Amino acid sequence: MLEDSDLSSNGSDSPTKVSWKQMLLGQGDYNQEERFRSASNDSAENFDFLEGDVKKIMVNGIPAIEFSERIQQILFKDMETTVVLKLLGRNISYTALFNRISSLWRPTKPFHLMDIENGFFLAKLQCIKDYNKALSQGSWIIHGQYLIVQPWTKFFNPKKLYPSMVLAWIRLPKLPGFMYKQRILEEVGGLVGKVVKLDLNTDSKTKSRFARMAEWTLINL
């Protein structure tokens, strides 16, 4: 596996890697944290605990805590515009990835990038337009390697070395022309995975001709 040294510039705009622990303790890059906080909608912060929302118990002499389904759903909702990233075939530094995806995606609002484990990153975007672009406008290539971008779900497990799904572009070369209707194509593509984008203009010689579709495909490794 190739190792990526920090290929980005050392200018003042370069982000500083901030862990969850640092953010919780109020440490790390203050300016970056403040920019992120002011850009977010704080939906997961502005709530009150109701009776039964928090349950503290002892399990084999070890303190444990459980949160109600209501609280979990609030937290899950706050992750609605978060994507999981992994660069296949090489490691990449936090700063290099931040700068590369900022250039590729050109988001309309600030986003927060978090380095987790096994080469995975989480990118929390601040609007649905930026989120959809990150998911569907690829393929994204960094240093000649494919960047996997997939939506975060509660089933995401960073301990697995590879993502459970990939965004794949597929073609249907023998599909009759009279079936080039969006709903028909989505149903056909649905046999393989969830269709997220139809590309009708890839073939420059023929306008409005269906060329390919992008869809989420589960992989078993």
pLDDT digits (tens, 9 = 90+) for 171-210: 888 888 888 888 888 888 888 887 877 776 644 455 555 6
Which residues span the domain enclosing 213?
167-218
Q: How confident is the model at residue 59 (pLDDT cuts 50, 70, 90)?
A: very high
Q: Where is the domain boundary, 134, 162, 190? A: 162
Same domain, 34 and 131: yes
pLDDT at position 173, please? 81
Beta carbons within 8 Å of 210's beta carbon, 6+ residues apart: 172, 175, 180, 185, 198, 199, 200
pLDDT at position 15, please? 62
* Whether pLDDT at 152 is above 80: yes
- Its pTM stands at 0.68
Same domain, 118 and 82: yes
pLDDT at position 61, please? 94
In sequence order, what E strands does the chain have?
2-3, 54-59, 62-67, 82-87, 90-91, 112-115, 120-124, 140-142, 145-151, 165-170, 194-199, 212-218
Beta carbons within 8 Å of 67's beta carbon, 6+ residues apart: 53, 54, 55, 75
Same domain, 94 and 199: no
Same domain, 174 and 206: yes
* Whether pLDDT at 28 is above 80: no
Within a domain: 55: no
Digit-coded pLDDT (tens) for 110-119: 999 999 999 9
d(CA 16, CA 27): 11
- Residue closest to 99 by CA, chosen among 143, 144, 37, 39: 143
Same domain, 28 and 101: yes
pLDDT at position 214, please? 80
pLDDT at position 1, please? 53
* Whether pLDDT at 26 is above 90: no
Is residue 209 within 8 Å of 179, Cβ to Cβ? no
Is residue 165 within 8 Å of 135, Cβ to Cβ? no
Within a domain: 64: no
Same domain, 92 and 140: yes
Share of the chain above pLDDT 70, in %: 73
Same domain, 111 and 192: no
Same domain, 22 and 85: yes
d(CA 29, CA 221): 38
pLDDT at position 221, please? 57
